[in-house]
């Protein structure tokens, strides 16, 4: 016999719809940052975002506050919200935190590995190689971050996953500001090697490869100025 639906399921309440809209804005801004469509220092006008997503300023403000709490947006008194410009100290802290948690994440992912999950990882690597072959830099940047998120999802550790999603978004801003070359931050080769270590259930190798990979990404960074561009939000955000 099928379970009766709980009385709370069914028609979404106004609060549910509000939460959905807030997460749509948050995810839209995150995706634009991960694909380097939104640059550090870009003004995030409440009215403009409200228009793009067809929501009230109150909801936009809530979404921006959430992003500010995650270090992705900075809110300046009387000036409004901007995409954060992480400092070089922030950059060091973010990569130090990643070096600390990602080896443990990969450990947990190996514990939870299954043929279906391994297949998903292989398909992800194929996607990265395909984007590389097409010369699709934007897709490659997005997929690079997604690889790390995917491994965290497979770890089944929701606290680490939450931390890492924030760290990946902040890394994306850091890489935009401080990378030395225009090449994508994560080489496909590194990710493929990590997947092979996961396949072999070799925790020591997977951990070492992950740490080495993060050290390499950080080593590619240096301080440079990024001139804020003047694109309209409507050109970079997709509702």
* H or E segment and range at residue 44: strand 43-44
Q: Which is nearer to Zn ion, 25 or 186 (CB)?
A: 186
How far apart are alpha carbons 76 and 110 in whole angstroms? 43
The least CB distance from residue 133 to Zn ion, in Å, is 18
CA triple 93-96-215, angle to 5 deg: 125
Q: Which is nearer to Zn ion, 21 or 170 (CB)?
A: 170
Q: Which is nearer to Zn ion, 186 or 237 (CB)?
A: 186
Q: For the purposes of burial, counting CB atoms within 10 Å of the CB of 98, is it exposed (0-12), middle (13-18) or buried (19 or more)?
A: buried
Give the footprint of Zn ion on residues 57-96 (CB under 5 A).
none
Q: Is 143 a binder of Zn ion (CB under 5 A)?
A: no
In the complex, which residue's CB is closest to Zn ion? 186
Residues 6+ apart with CB under 8 A from 102: 148, 151, 152, 164, 210, 211, 214
Q: Which is nearer to Zn ion, 47 or 216 (CB)?
A: 216
Size of residue set near Zn ion by CB under 5 A: 1
The least CB distance from residue 215 to Zn ion, in Å, is 12
Q: Is 186 a binder of Zn ion (CB under 5 A)?
A: yes
Place of tokens 């070799």: 202
The least CB distance from residue 20 to Zn ion, in Å, is 30
Binding segment (CB under 5 A) for Zn ion, from list 115-123, 158-166, 169-177, 179-187: 179-187
Q: Which is nearer to Zn ion, 50 or 187 (CB)?
A: 187
How far apart are alpha carbons 237 and 25 in whole angstroms? 9
Q: Which is nearer to Zn ion, 60 or 198 (CB)?
A: 198
Give the footprint of Zn ion on residues 200-229 (CB under 5 A).
none
Binding segment (CB under 5 A) for Zn ion, from list 46-54, 78-86, 152-160, 183-191: 183-191
How far apart are alpha carbons 131 and 139 in whole angstroms? 6
Q: Is 164 a binder of Zn ion (CB under 5 A)?
A: no
> Buried (b) or exposed (e) across 35-57, using 16+ Cβ within 10 A?
bbbbbbbbebebeebbebbebee
In the complex, the residues that contact Zn ion under the rule CB under 5 A are 186
């Amino acid at each position: 016999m099928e379970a009766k639906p709980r009385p709370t399921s069914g028609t979404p309440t106004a609060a549910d719809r509000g939460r959905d809209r807030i997460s749509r804005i948050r995810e839209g801004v995150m995706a634009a940052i991960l694909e380097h469509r939104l640059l550090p220092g870009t003004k995030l006008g409440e009215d403009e975002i409200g228009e793009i997503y067809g929501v009230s300023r109150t909801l936009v403000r809530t979404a921006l506050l959430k992003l500010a709490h995650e270090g992705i947006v900075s809110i300046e008194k009387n000036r409004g919200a901007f995409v954060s410009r992480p400092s070089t100290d922030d950059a060091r802290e973010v990569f130090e935190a990643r070096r600390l948690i990602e080896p443990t994440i990969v450990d947990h992912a190996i514990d939870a590995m299954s043929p279906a999950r391994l297949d998903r990882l292989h398909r992800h690597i194929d996607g990265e190689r395909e984007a590389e072959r097409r010369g699709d830099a934007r897709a490659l940047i997005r997929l690079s971050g997604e690889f790390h998120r995917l491994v965290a999802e497979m770890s089944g550790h929701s606290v680490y996953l939450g931390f890492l999603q924030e760290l990946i978004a902040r890394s994306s801003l850091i890489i935009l500001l401080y990378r030395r070359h225009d090449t994508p931050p994560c080489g496909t080769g590194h990710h493929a090697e990590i997947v092979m270590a996961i396949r072999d259930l070799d925790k020591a190798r997977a951990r070492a490869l992950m740490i080495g990979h993060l050290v390499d990404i950080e080593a590619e960074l240096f301080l440079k100025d990024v001139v804020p561009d003047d694109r309209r939000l409507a050109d970079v955000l997709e509702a």
